[in-house]
Amino acid sequence: MDDQPVYRPQTLAVRAGQTRSQFGEHAEALYLTSSFVFGSAAQAARRFSGEEEGNVYARFSNPTVTMFEERLAALEGAEDCVATASGMSAIMALCLAHLKQGDHIVASNSLFGATVQLFSNILSRTGISTSFVSHTDPAAWEAAIRPETKLFFLETPSNPLTEIADIRALSAIAHARGILVAVDNCFCTPILQRPLELGADLVVHSATKYIDGQGRVLGGAVCGPKKLTEEVFKYLRTAGPTLSAFNAWVLLKGLETLAIRIEAQSANALRLATWLESHPQVARVYYPGLSSHPQHALAQTQQQSGGAIVSFEVRGAREQAWTVVDHCRLLSITANLGDTKTTITHPASTTHGRISPEARAAAGIGEGLLRVAVGLEAVEDLQADLERGLSLIGR
Ligand SMILES: *Cc1c(COP(=O)(O)O)cnc(C)c1O
Q: Report the separation in Å between the CA atom of 231 and the middle of ligand 1, taken as the mean of its atom positions.
A: 21
Position 4 in a domain:
no
Q: What is the pLDDT along the chain (395 residues), one digit of tens a residue?
A: 567 788 998 899 999 999 999 999 999 999 999 999 999 999 999 999 989 999 999 999 999 999 999 999 999 999 999 999 999 999 999 999 999 999 999 999 888 889 999 999 999 999 999 999 999 999 999 999 999 999 999 999 999 999 999 999 999 999 999 999 999 999 999 999 999 999 999 999 999 999 999 999 999 999 999 999 999 999 999 999 999 999 999 999 999 999 999 999 999 999 999 999 999 999 999 999 999 999 999 999 999 999 999 999 999 999 999 999 999 999 999 988 999 999 999 999 998 888 788 878 877 899 999 999 999 999 999 999 999 999 998 76
- The whole domain housing 84 covers 9-30+62-256
Whether residue 201 sits in one domain with residue 125: yes
Position 219 in a domain:
yes
- Counting from 1 in the atom list of ligand 1, the atom nearest the Cα of 220 is 7
- Residue ending a domain, among 237, 256, 275, is 256
Ligand 1 in contact with 86 (CB < 6 A)? yes
Whether residue 263 sits in one domain with residue 246: no
Q: Report the separation in Å between the CA atom of 317 and the middle of ligand 1, taken as the mean of its atom positions.
A: 28
Position 3 in a domain:
no
Ligand 1 in contact with 208 (CB < 6 A)? yes
Q: Report the separation in Å between the CA atom of 359 and the middle of ligand 1, taken as the mean of its atom positions.
A: 22
3-state per-residue secondary structure call for the chain: CCCCCCCCHHHHHHHCCCCCCCCCCCCCCCCCCCECCCCCHHHHHHHHHCCCCCCCECCCCCHHHHHHHHHHHHHHCCCEEEEECCHHHHHHHHHHHHCCCCCEEEEECCCCHHHHHHHHHHHHHHCCEEEEECCCCHHHHHHHCCCCEEEEEEECCCCCCCCCCCHHHHHHHHHCCCCEEEEECCCCHHHHCCCCCCCCCEEEEECCCCCCCCCCCCCEEEEECHHHHHHHHHHHHHHCCECCHHHHHHHHHHHHHHHHHHHHHHHHHHHHHHHHHCCCCEEEEECCCCCCCCCHHHHHHHCCCCCCEEEEEECCCHHHHHHHHHCCCCCEECCCCCCCCCEEECHHHCCCCCCCHHHHHHCCCCCCEEEEECCCCCHHHHHHHHHHHHCCCCC
- Counting from 1 in the atom list of ligand 1, the atom nearest the Cα of 155 is 13
Position 197 in a domain:
yes
Whether residue 294 sits in one domain with residue 149: no
Whether residue 90 sits in one domain with residue 77: yes
Q: Report the separation in Å between the CA atom of 315 and the middle of ligand 1, taken as the mean of its atom positions.
A: 30
Whether residue 67 sits in one domain with residue 79: yes
Position 244 in a domain:
yes
Position 320 in a domain:
yes
- Residue ending a domain, among 226, 256, 286, is 256
Whether residue 280 sits in one domain with residue 245: no
Q: Report the separation in Å between the CA atom of 392 and the middle of ligand 1, taken as the mean of its atom positions.
A: 34
Whether residue 313 sits in one domain with residue 236: no
Q: Report the separation in Å between the CA atom of 109 and the middle of ligand 1, taken as the mean of its atom positions.
A: 16
Position 39 in a domain:
no
The CATH number given to whatever domain includes residue 289 is 3.90.1150.10
Whether residue 184 sits in one domain with residue 108: yes
Ligand 1 in contact with 351 (CB < 6 A)? no
The CATH number given to whatever domain includes residue 163 is 3.40.640.10
Domain count, the chain: 2
Ligand 1 in contact with 153 (CB < 6 A)? no
User: pLDDT, tens digit, for every residue of 158-195?
Assistant: 999 999 999 999 999 999 999 999 999 999 999 999 99
Ligand 1 in contact with 87 (CB < 6 A)? yes
- Residue ending a domain, among 256, 291, 312, is 256
Residue nearest to atom 8 of ligand 1 (CA): 87
Ligand 1 in contact with 209 (CB < 6 A)? yes
Whether residue 166 sits in one domain with residue 129: yes
Whether residue 162 sits in one domain with residue 22: yes
Position 79 in a domain:
yes
Whether residue 318 sits in one domain with residue 285: yes
Whether residue 179 sits in one domain with residue 98: yes
